[in-house]
A and B are shown apart, each in its own frame.
Chain A
Amino acid sequence: MAGVPFVFGNATTSIPLSNLDANFNTGLTIGNTTVGLGNTVTTLGNVTLNNVTINSGTSNVSPANVVATTLTIGGVALGAGDASIMKNRIINGAMVIDQRNAGASGTVINTYTLDRWYYQASAASKLTWQQNAGSVTPPVGFTNYIGFTSSSAFSIGSGDYFFLYQPIEGYNIADLGWGTANGKTVTLSFQVQSSLTGNFGGSIRNSAGNQNYPFSYTISAANTWTSVSVTIPAPNTGSSWNSTNGLGLQLVLSMAAGSAFSGTANAWTASNIYSVTGSTSVVGTSGATFYITGVQLEVGSSATGFEYRQYGQELALCQRYYYQTPNSTIYFSRGTSGLAYSTTGFEGAAFLFPQPMRASPSYSASGTVNFYNPSLGRVTNTGTVGIYLATTDTVYLNNANNGSGFVINSVYWLAGTVSNPSISFSAEL
C-alpha cells in the first residue's frame, strides 16, 4: 500500500493513504471553522490572517465578495463600489489645463476660463480670473488652482450672480441613475481659499435648471486652504437628467448670488438656485480673492483622495470639448491642407482633431488666416473662412473666394500669422 512519509522528531514513517483519506474526510479545523480539503469549496468566517502571501496561480478571490465599510490602501480611503477608477466626474479638477489663455488673466464674463471651467456673471468687470492668480502656494499635492480677484466693492442686487461652473456631459453621469429609483449618492470635494471668511455656497443642477441642490460650506480662516466635502443625495425619482452627449449635470461654485438665485441648503428644489441664502459675496469687497482647486465629484457618501490623472489624459479629456492648435506663423498642424479651386477660392483644409469631439465643433480664429505653399508662397485671405463640413473628428474649411493669387489646383496649408497664430474648435456643452 502506498504511503505518505511524515516526520515526528527524528523518526520517519509513513501513513497509509486510506488512513489519510479517512482523516481528511473529517475535516481540518482552523479557528472555529471546519475546512474541507481537496476540491471542496470552503468558506472561512472570522479568521484573521497575518503576513499572508498569495503566490501566483489560480485564485478564487472575487472583488464582489470583498466587503468593507471603508477600504484603505496605503492610508488613502477608496471610494464606494465602482468608484475607484476614473472616479472623478470633473475634468481638469486640478486646474492644470489652460489651452485658451496659457496662464494669462482675463476679465471677460460668460466665457470659458481654464479648460472646462466657465465663468458666468450678471455684471462685467467685477472679477479678474487667472490660473494661479496671486501666486499663492497651492495646497499640498497640487501645482495649480484658478483664482478670482474682486475689482471693486460691488453691492449685488437680487438678480445678480457670479459663479464658476462646470457642465458635465450626460454620458459621464449616466451611471448615477439620477431620476430613477436607483439613484446614487455622490460626494463633492475641493480645496478652497479666500481672503474672506464665512459661509459660501454652490449648487448641483440638471440641464433644465429645474432640479437644484444648493449646498453650503464654511471658510473659517482667511488666506488658508480649506478642504471641503459635501455629500449630495440622489434627486427625486422622475426628475430629468440627460445621459447622452448633451448637458447632463452642472456644478456651480458661487462667488456671489442675489436673493433671486439663493435658497435653502441641502434640499433638492425646482427653483433656479445657484447658491445658499446669506452666502459671502466675493465681489462685495475690493481686492477679495477666491481660489479653488482639487475639485472632485464621485459616487459615494464620503470624499476620497483626489484622483490624479496624467497630463496627457487630462488634456485628451479636455480636447473632447475644445481644441486649440499650437501657435504657428507658418502652417497649422494636423493636416490642414486644401486645394485652390480658383485664383480666389480655397476648399479643403481637412483638419483632424486629436480627440473625437463631443459634437461637430465651431471654428474660431482671432484674426485673418492665410494660406501657404512652400513653393508658391503665402496667400493672404481677405475675408471669412467658414466651415464647409464638420464631423466629430474632422472639419473642412472654405474661404468663400476671399483669397487672391492662388495657383489653381495647387495645395495650400491653412497658415497662421503673427496676430493670429492659432485656430480653435469648440464643442463645449
Chain B
Amino acid sequence: MQYKLFKDREGNVCSIVVIGGIHEQMSIPLNPDNTDYQAYLKWVEEGNTPLPADEVTNGN
C-alpha cells in the first residue's frame, strides 16, 4: 500500500489518496480524528514518504 498526496485546483494539498489498498479508490481527509489519517501520519513517522501529487491546472 502506498500513499499519494492529492491537490485541489488551486494547487493545495487537500487530502491523501491510498494506492493499492482494499479499495480501488480511497481518499483520506487531513483530520487528526480520522483513524486512516492517524495511520498515514504513523506511516510517515516511520520514515516513509508519500508520492507527490499530480499537478492540477484549472483546465480550459
Contacts and interface: CB of A to CB of B under 8 A. Distances in A.
Interface of A: 108, 111, 245-246, 341-345, 347, 358-369, 383-390, 395, 397-398, 400-401, 420, 426-429
Contacts, number: 105
Contact of A111 (B22, B53, B60): B22
A359 to B, nearest CB: 4
Contact of B27 (A108, A245, A359, A386): A386
Given A384-B17, A386-B15, A401-B57, A364 B23 contact: yes
B27 A368 contact: no
Contact of B24 (A111, A360, A367): A367
26 contacts: A245-B33, A341-B59, A342-B57, A344-B59, A359-B31, A359-B33, A359-B35, A365-B23, A365-B25, A366-B25, A368-B24, A385-B27, A387-B29, A388-B15, A389-B14, A390-B15, A390-B29, A395-B29, A398-B6, A398-B8, A400-B53, A400-B54, A401-B56, A401-B57, A426-B36, A428-B35
Given A388-B8, A401-B56, A426-B36, A360 B22 contact: no
A400 B13 CA distance: 11
Contacts of A384: 6, 17, 25, 27
Interface string B1-33: 000001111000011010000111111110101
B26 A401 contact: no
A197 B59 CA distance: 66
A397 B6 CA distance: 11
A111 to B, nearest CB: 7
Given A343-B60, A362-B29, A387 B24 contact: no
A361 B28 CA distance: 7
A91 to B, nearest CB: 16
Nearest to B25: A365
B29 A369 contact: no
Nearest to A387: B15
Contacts of A360: 29, 31, 33-34
Contacts of B23: 364-366
Given A365-B25, A384-B27, 7 more contacts: A345-B58, A359-B34, A360-B33, A367-B25, A368-B24, A383-B54, A386-B6
A113 to B, nearest CB: 13
Contacts of B14: 386-389, 398
B59 A400 contact: no
Contacts of B24: 365-368, 420
A417 to B, nearest CB: 11
Contacts of A369: 25
A397 B9 CA distance: 11
Q: Ordered nearest first, which 7 A-B pairs have the shortest CB separation?
A: A342-B59, A359-B33, A386-B6, A387-B15, A390-B29, A360-B31, A386-B27
A350 B38 CA distance: 24
B38 to A, nearest CB: 10
Contacts of B35: 359, 428-429
A369 B23 CA distance: 13
A369 B57 CA distance: 21
Nearest to A340: B59
Contacts of A361: 29, 34
B25 A343 contact: no
B28 to A, nearest CB: 5
